[in-house]
């Protein structure tokens, strides 16, 4: 029986490596889920912005979700990056470089490190003085890009 292989065979990674396959990228980022991390956005090697954020979601099969890095929440769509370089060799220290063209996002997590006061502390509804209020809504709560025609009883 002849077997066709459409995708590359999975690689073998020990502590560090470079991944380009969707499943490998998602799997290598999985330890960051629900962690506060530091991040740096670089363009052509020059730092654009840096900060701390909470990794809310890592996904790889939803082309309608952008990768977003903010102090409130981080959503990483693995399809937004061509490759992910990782180094997990130091216990409790996770380092990643996500690359897309001239852009790179460096992410680091260190176990036991106190997050700065400006870093988010996760809860469903959070009030932090006069800084911000965070409320999570399901994705379906946001308006769609499809404009509906008004129904006749909607016009007053």
Question: Is 117 within 8 Å of 129 (Cβ atoms)?
Answer: no
Q: What is the C-alpha to C-alpha distance for residues 119 and 110, in angstroms, rounded to an integer?
A: 14
Q: Does residue 40 lie in a domain region? A: yes
Give me the number of domains the chain comprises.
1
Q: Does residue 150 lie in a domain region? A: no
Determine if the pTM surpasses 0.85: no
Where is pLDDT greater, at 130 or 3?
130
> What pLDDT does residue 61 have?
80
Q: What is the C-alpha to C-alpha distance for residues 139 and 126, in angstroms, rounded to an integer?
A: 19
Q: Does residue 83 lie in a domain region? A: yes
Per-residue pLDDT, averaged over 80-92, amounts to 93
Q: Does residue 151 lie in a domain region? A: no
Domain that holds residue 111: 16-141
- Among 3-7, 62-66, 152-156, the range with the most confident prediction by mean pLDDT is 62-66
Q: Does residue 30 lie in a domain region? A: yes
Q: What is the C-alpha to C-alpha distance for residues 153 and 50, in angstroms, rounded to an integer?
A: 50
Q: Does residue 42 lie in a domain region? A: yes
Question: Is 120 within 8 Å of 131 (Cβ atoms)?
Answer: no
Q: Does residue 153 lie in a domain region? A: no
Q: Does residue 90 lie in a domain region? A: yes
Chain segment 7-51, per-residue pLDDT in tens: 566 678 888 999 999 989 999 999 999 999 999 999 999 999 999
User: If we measure between CA atoms, which residue out of 17, 40, 36 comes closest to residue 28?
Assistant: 17
SS3 of residue 139 by DSSP: helix
SS3 of residue 23 by DSSP: helix
Burial pattern 67-90, b for ≥16 Cβ within 10 A else e, equals bebebebbbbbbbbbeebbbebee
Chain segment 97-145, per-residue pLDDT in tens: 999 999 999 999 998 766 566 545 444 344 444 544 445 545 554 555 5
SS3 of residue 127 by DSSP: strand
């Amino acid at each position: 029986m002849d077997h066709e292989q459409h995708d590359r065979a999975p690689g073998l990674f020990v502590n560090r490596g470079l991944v380009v396959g969707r499943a490998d990228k998602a799997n290598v980022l999985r330890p960051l889920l629900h962690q506060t991390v530091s991040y740096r956005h670089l363009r052509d090697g020059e730092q654009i912005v840096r900060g701390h954020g909470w990794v809310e979601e890592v996904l790889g099969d939803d082309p309608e979700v952008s990768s977003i890095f903010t102090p409130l929440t981080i959503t990483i769509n693995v399809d937004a990056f061509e490759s992910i370089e990782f180094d997990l060799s130091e216990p409790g220290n996770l380092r990643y470089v996500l690359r897309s063209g001239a852009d790179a996002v460096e992410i680091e997590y260190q176990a036991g490190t106190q997050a700065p006061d400006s870093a988010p502390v996760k809860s469903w509804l959070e009030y932090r003085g006069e800084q911000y209020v965070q409320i999570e809504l399901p994705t379906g709560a946001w308006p769609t890009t499809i404009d509906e025609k008004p129904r006749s009883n909607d016009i007053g």
